[in-house]
Amino acid sequence: MADQEIVSTEPATGAVLWRRPVGNADAEVAAARAAWAGWAARPFAYRAETLRRFANVVRAKADAFTDLIARETGKPIWEARGEVESVIAKVEISIAAYADRTAQRRVDAPMGSRMAVRHKPHGVLAVLGPYNFPAHLPNGHIVPALLAGNAVVFKPSEKTPAAGAMLVDCYRAAGVPEGCVRLLVGGAAEGKALAAHPDIDGLLFTGSAHTGLALNRAFADHPEKILALEMGGNNPIVVWDTPDIHTAAILVAQSAFTSAGQRCTAARRLIVEGRLYDALIDQLKRLTSRIIVGEPHADPAPFMGPVIDNEAADQLTESFLALLMNGGRAIRHLERPIEARPFLYPAMIDVTAMQNRPDLELFGPILQVIRCDDFDEAIAIANDTRYGLSASLISQTPALYDRFWANIRAGVVNWNKPTNGASSGAPFGGIGWSGNHRPSAYYAADYCAYPVVSNEAEAARASIGIGLRDG
C-alpha cells in the first residue's frame, strides 16, 4: 500500500485539492499505544487547558478551515463556517459534560470507610469520521476522548481527508502530544484494519448503517472493547393540524434539503394530513423552485451545494427512478444541471400509493411524501422503519404533540422545529439501526471513560461473627 495515495477533489469543480500516501494502521496504533499512558497521567485540568488552546488555534485559522471544508465537501461557505464554530464550541461543552457525566463522587459507608466513584480512560480509541461534517463530527468524539485521557487514532473519510488532516494539525499545534492523536489516511481497507486492530480499546464511529452493522457484528466477540455507533436515519416529519402552511413548508425544506440532504437527521419522509396536502405541496413547490444550488463561494450564496461526488449523485438518481418505477409520483423531479458534476436540485416524490416503501436512508435531496387522514396512522407510518434517529411534528395542537412524543420511536423528537440541527449541549443518538445506545454530543463522556467504584478505609478492620467453631 506504500505506493498508493488518497486524492481529494472538489465536488463543485473536480479540481484536485489534496493528496497524501496511504497510511499504516499498525504504525499509528503502535504510536498511540506508546503515548496514551503519559497523557492519561496528566491532571484533567492540564488536558482541559490543552484542548482550550486547540479551540484558540481553530479560531485563529477559522477562515482557512472554513474555506477548506467548503471546497472539500461542496457545502456553502455559510454552512462550513458554522461547522468550524461547532468545532470551537465543542471544547467548553465537553469540559462541562465531563464534569457532569463523570464527576468524582464519594459516599460515606459504615465503620468509617467510604465509597468512591472515579473514572478511567479506556486507552487507545479509534475514530472513523464521515464526509458530511468532516471536522465537527469526528471532533465530537476526539475532544471528549482526549479530555478523558485516551489516545486517538483518527481515520477521516477518504472523501474528505484534507479537513481531517487540518483538524489533527490543530490538535498538535495546541500541544496535544503527537502520539496521542494520530492520523490514518486511507480508504475502506485501512478503516477495516483499524477497526479490527487488536491493540485498540474501542471504536467511535459515525457513518452509514451498513458499515455500522458490520462493525457491530465484528465487535460481538470483543465485549472488552467499547463500541459507539452513530448511524443514519429514515427520518419522518409530520405536518398536521396547522394553519401556517408557509412556515410548515420552510421547516420541511430546512429538514429535507439543508446540506443537500446529506445529514443523518435530514427528513426523508413527509407525512401530511390529507386536508393540508394540496396547500403544503403547493408551498413546497414554490419554495424549492427558489432554492439556489451552486458552488460554495457563489454570489448570491447558495442554500445547497453539490452532493459529495458523482457516484453519490448517480446512486441518488437511480434511487429516484426506482421509486418512480414502483408506484411513486414525481412532484418535483431530481434534476442534475451539469452532467459531469454532482449538483442536484431538490426532489419530491409522492409514495402514498406504493405497496412496499423502501426503508432506506437516501442520503441526498430527495423527499418522499405520504398523504394520510388519521393521526394514529401517521404515527404508525412514521414508525415503519428500522431506524430511529430523528422525528418532528409540525402542529399547533399540544395534545397531538403529547401523543406524538409518547408513541414515536426516535432519539430526537422535535415539535415545530426541523428534524436536523441538533445541539451539542444535549445527548445525540437514536435507536434501532440509528445507533447502539451510545449517544454522543453531551453524553460522549459516557463512552470515553468507564466508572471505577472503590470501597476504601484508611485502616484495615475485619471480623467474622458467625459460622466459626469455638477456637
CA distances from 381 to 296, 375, 415 (A): 36, 10, 18
Query: Any residues with CB less than 8 A from the CB of 268 and at least 6 apart, and which?
Result: 233, 234, 235, 236, 256, 361, 362, 366, 367, 368
Distance CA 172, CA 461 (A): 49
Q: Whole-angstrom Cα distance, residue 277 to residue 240?
A: 10
Coil/strand/helix, residue 250: helix
Q: Cell numbers of 222, please? A: 470483543
φ and ψ at residue 449, rounded to 5 degrees: -150, 155
Helix ranges (H only) for 174-235 are: 188-195, 209-218
Written as nine digits, the cell of 45 is 485540568
The amino acid at residue 250 is: I
C-alpha cell of residue 327? 408506484
For residue 267, the cross-strand partners are 235
What is the rounded CA–CA span in Å between residue 212 and residue 38? 31
Cell numbers found for residue 118: 472515579
Active site residue ranges: 230, 264
Cell numbers describing residue 367: 423527499
Q: Which helix (H) or strand (E) holds 120?
A: strand 114-121
